[in-house]
Amino acid sequence: MTRFAHYPSLAGMPVVISGGASGIGESLVRNFAAQGAKVGFVDIAVEAGERLAAELAGQGQSVRFAACDVTDTEAYQAAIAGFAAAHGDALALVNNAAHDQRHDWAEVTPAYWDDRMAVNLKHAFFAIQAVAPGMVRAGRGSIINTGSISWMIMSSRIPVYETAKAAVHGLTRGMARELGGSGIRVNSLVPGWIMTERQLTHWLDADGERAIAQNQVLSGRVYPDDVSRMALFLAADDSAMISAQQFVVDGGWANA
């Protein structure tokens, strides 16, 4: 028997997740599907997305994948409409898609700035715009925007990413006010240094291990499932009176 929570309110709930083919996104898809939710997810990684959807569908879970670049707003909103046609209007949205590409601030061009904002911020607003009418009709819903501790701890070599992720909190607060009267909750979920395959492959070295040991108040690594379990709570009815807040899952690193 699992030692983690089961949420009856998630059973049959239509959920939309961006960037769901790998990393934290894959964990979100797996965890929501395991709760019995009807999951629709998008990603640009077509092969990985199709493989994940086929695997979970083969286990009897309700999962659909759409190959989509979230920076193409028209295509992304069309994908969300497709999920609604198949599963019903989304009652939970997890704005997960992001990319923490390293960059030198002195070499940032206007085009690069616009691209990074599209990848890390813009799509979240337009996904909210797409799902909110259905949530308004239902009189309930949960929107979860994914932030980052990077700007809180002043990480180096990602200032544009940090700007976008700091703005996520403004988006959360603003939309919580806009949508709260319709029973829609909007919160930020803020991961720390999460041990995804990408982080383990590209960034975690001896210096990284020392940084974790020195900065986290909890020993050990933080994994994608640790983030997903918070997302499940925020999507479920258990968090019915929580909105406009940020929830940090980082082993106690950042001073939020």
Q: Which of 7, 112, 161, 223 is catalytic?
A: 161
Q: In whole angstroms, give the CA distance from residue 94 to residue 183.
A: 17
Question: Which of 81, 88, 219, 107 lies closest to 159, judged by CA?
Answer: 107
Distances (CA, A) of 214 to 152, 211, 252: 16, 5, 11
Burial class (CB in 10 A: 0-12, 13-18, 19+), 60: exposed
Residue 211 CA to residue 178 CA, distance in Å, equals: 39
- 7 is annotated as an active-site residue: no
Measured from the Cβ of residue 146, the count of other Cβ atoms closer than 10 Å reads: 24
Q: Which residues contact 143 (CB under 8 A, 6 or more apart)?
A: 92, 93, 95, 128, 131, 132, 135, 175, 179, 184, 185, 186, 187
Give the residue numbers marked as catalytic: 161
